[in-house]
Amino acid sequence: MKISAASGKEPIQIALLCCLLTVWEASAANENAAAFKALCRMYRTLKGKLPQAAADLTDVDSEMRQLENLKFSSLLSAAYDNRTFGDVTDPEHWSQRKKEIESQGEAGTEGTYRRYPDSEAKQAAHNRIVIFNRKAKELKSRLDRIKTTLTLATTDAANHLNAALYGGNKTKDTDDGAFAARADACIAAGNAVGKSLVSDFACVCAATTADDVCCKGCANTNYANAGTNNPSDAKAVWQAVKSKCEKLPTVQQATKENLQAALESVIQEIGGLSSNANSPYMLGGGSAGTCTGATDHNQACVDYSQKLQGGGAASIPWMKQVTDVIRNIRLINTASTEAQAAKEAIKNLATLAWTTYDLIPAKPGNNQHDGTEQQAQATAANSNQGEECNKQQSRDKCNDPCTWNENSSDRTKRCTLDPVKATKQQTQAAGAGDTPTGPNTNTTGNNSFIINKAPLLLAVLLF
């Protein structure tokens, strides 16, 4: 602005100039306050609780024991009465396992172990249970691998989180190692720029004549390139800042969403209003700062310009650590979902094994029916069930094992037989010895169920 002595407007122009200077100064100071706010949000998020897999997520020991006991209990007498069996090569061990089975098994199992008389149905049941047991062992091996993945990912997430905060897996904010000399930690050419979140706090919140640059009473002036340039000086700045930042509540959970949002809030503050050549890459500071801390708030900053030449935010060390935390949290979430699915599948296999086991005839001669004839009867029963379902013309009358499909193009078949529900009803009827009427009709005998229906039920339970 050009001021002319002859203009007669000098007082107005001078007042306007002073006002603009005041606004510029306030804007610069606000940059530091905004940077402090974003860094503080990041700190409070990193101090939150990391997601953890459920403690019992991989606990299937009881189900695995039940499956093995059912396999042994369903053996024909010739094999069961041997001194050893299969991979149980120690006679004493085999004797103990049989005692466990014969004394009704472990507390809390889903059923009672019995020694059924030998029959074709018993052999068929045993063969099925062996298959279920083998599948469960495969799932258990997979579960063990997932457990290892979860353990490693949880440990890595915690290590990266601590390194983001303090620059190392085991470093604390009371250690000088979390900080560096200002020439290394804050200016563009420094080797320790972005080494830790707390180090960047010190760069942004201290300069020689910049009291309270981040917030009222939350910093000091003792961290500059000359005289007070030591890590211990940076640590003193951090301790003052920390007391203010921690007055705000910690984020409850350090989830990947919370961490990503906090990281983006810091990234958005890089550049700010500074006007020197490195302006897009500085956090905090003012019009022409180089982040030396030598004067006022214009020098209270950290310059990421050289770090960012190598790539995006991940080239800044503590930000890279945060992205690694997020990556491990994603891994924990994925592995937890897979573990839960494997655990449920093993539980379903144990349930199916008990169902198969309980269908073994309790008396000799109960399994002499023709399986082919019974399968034909079951097919006919399903056909009858389907016809009964089709007769129902309203949702309230479309009862199990039927299912209602409002969007069916054939209005006469909106109520149709649900094969999953039908199979489950046949299982229950076969186990109880009942013969349901109407849509629940089941004429399947014990032996034919074990041979012909168990694979379908397995598919229902597992998928």
pLDDT digits (tens, 9 = 90+) for 394-451: 888 888 888 877 766 667 777 887 766 776 666 565 544 443 344 433 333 344 444 4
Percent with pLDDT over 90 in the chain:
41
- The Cα-based distances of 29 to 187, 303, 322, 384 in angstroms read 19, 17, 27, 82
pLDDT at residue 202, as a whole number: 92
Assigned token pair, 435: 């013969």
pLDDT digits (tens, 9 = 90+) for 19-34: 323 333 333 457 888 9
b/e for 343-352, b at 16 or more Cβ within 10 A? bebbbbbbbb
275 three-state secondary structure: coil
Q: How many CB atoms neighbour CB 143 within 10 A?
A: 24
Average pLDDT, integer, range 208-230: 73
Percent with pLDDT over 70 in the chain:
73
For 88, which DSSP code? B
pLDDT at residue 49, as a whole number: 92
- Of the listed ranges 164-178, 317-331, 365-379, the one predicted with least confidence: 365-379
- Of the listed ranges 130-139, 143-152, 267-276, the one predicted with least confidence: 267-276
Smallest CA-to-CA distance from 144 within 373, 342, 391 is with 342
User: Please, are residues 238 and 244 in contact by the beta-carbon 8 Å criterion?
Assistant: no
CA distance 355 to 250: 50
- Asked whether the bond before 401 is cis by omega within 30 degrees of 0, the reply is yes
pLDDT at residue 288, as a whole number: 62
Q: How confident is the model at residue 330 (pLDDT cuts 50, 70, 90)?
A: very high
DSSP 200-240: HHHHHT--TT-TTSSSTTS--S--SSSS--SHHHHHHHHHH
CA distance 24 to 36: 19
pLDDT at residue 221, as a whole number: 65
CA distance 66 to 46: 43
pLDDT digits (tens, 9 = 90+) for 142-193: 999 999 999 999 999 999 999 999 999 999 999 999 999 999 999 999 999 9
- Of the listed ranges 2-16, 47-61, 261-275, 336-350, the one predicted with least confidence: 2-16
Following CA atoms 125, 127, 133, 135 in sequence, which dihedral angle do they give, to the nearest 10 degrees?
-120
Give the containing element (helix H, strand E) for 15: helix 10-46
- Distance spanning both ends of the chain, measured CA to CA: 77
More confident residue, 321 or 89: 321
Bridge partners of 404?
415
pLDDT at residue 18, as a whole number: 34
**Whether pTM exceeds 0.85:** no
Q: Is the four-CA dihedral 250, 256, 259, 260 of positive or negative sign?
A: negative
Q: Is the four-CA dihedral 215, 217, 221, 222 of positive or negative sign?
A: negative
Smallest CA-to-CA distance from 34 within 194, 213, 292 is with 213
283 three-state secondary structure: strand
User: Please, are residues 430 and 442 in contact by the beta-carbon 8 Å criterion?
Assistant: yes
- The Cα-based distances of 365 to 441, 443, 446, 454, 459 in angstroms read 24, 18, 11, 21, 30
